Amino acid sequence: MSPLEPFGARLRHAMDTRGPLCVGVDPHASLLAAWGLNDDIQGLESFTRTVVEALADQVAVFKPQSAFFERFGSRGIAVLERAVADLRAAGGLVVMDAKRGDIGSTMAAYAETYLRTDAPLFSDALTVSPYLGYGSLRPAVDLARESGAGLFVLALTSNPEGAEVQRAVREDGRSIGATMLGHLAAENAGAAPMGSFGAVVGATLGDLSTFELDINGPLLAPGIGAQGATPADLPRVFGAAVRNVVPNVSRGVLKAGPDAGALRDAAARFADEVRAAVAAA
């Protein structure tokens, strides 16, 4: 296994050169229908190929939602494998949105699926769930560090149900979400220009000034576009950490399809709006 340059450094370069934007690749049934495609493997292949061909050489980061490919079985996984390879070949970074979380050898197997550089689904980073305890993620942390990949740990998610766990307070007075951010800051200590271990923090959450978001690592921020947040909201939500925010837009870009030019225009518009918001912060 040949290690890559650390994910944090590659991500910083990609956002600085291509623009600070992550496009979600979410081929759910309603979006396929909106594109005039059937909800079948042919529709999945057409959708995915169009997104890759339109955006792979333009957007910094792509976040395929694994579940929308898994639902088609092995043929859907084959489409995902090809998309990951093609996106990376064109210079895009791939964050696999699989939200894996388990213990021991099972967590190690999940890590090997996505974080070994010679694996068919190798991705530049993986979303993971820490709610079996942050220490349960150690196999993924160690393999990511070894291979030059990264992780995005669910910390303060945008879904309203998340608060009952993430805002719960421990005996030491810290919330669970704050505890996860603290672990990530420790993982990223001393890394330059940015660490490889990030947090998922919803852009729709409003004022987060009571949380220490400056973890010297990236903050994957879903919620831009269809969920209601705008690029202009980012400085208010993320404060001094806004430069390390990776805003994720899915439907806001994908609804412009299937026209390739319209997809490119939508992605460029969001990237420009984010860049302007960060510059004004």
Task: Write down the catalytic residue from 13, 49, 75, 99.
Answer: 99
Would you say the C-alpha torsion 71, 75, 77, 80 has a positive or negative sign? Answer: negative
The residues facing 197 across adjacent strands are 151
Would you say the C-alpha torsion 140, 84, 39, 73 has a positive or negative sign? Answer: negative
- Location of structure tokens 């084959």: 78
Nearest partner of 124 among 63, 202, 199, judged by Cα: 63
Is 99 tagged catalytic? yes
- Location of structure tokens 């399809």: 257
Residue 100 neighbours by CB distance under 10 Å: 20
Annotated catalytic residues are: 99
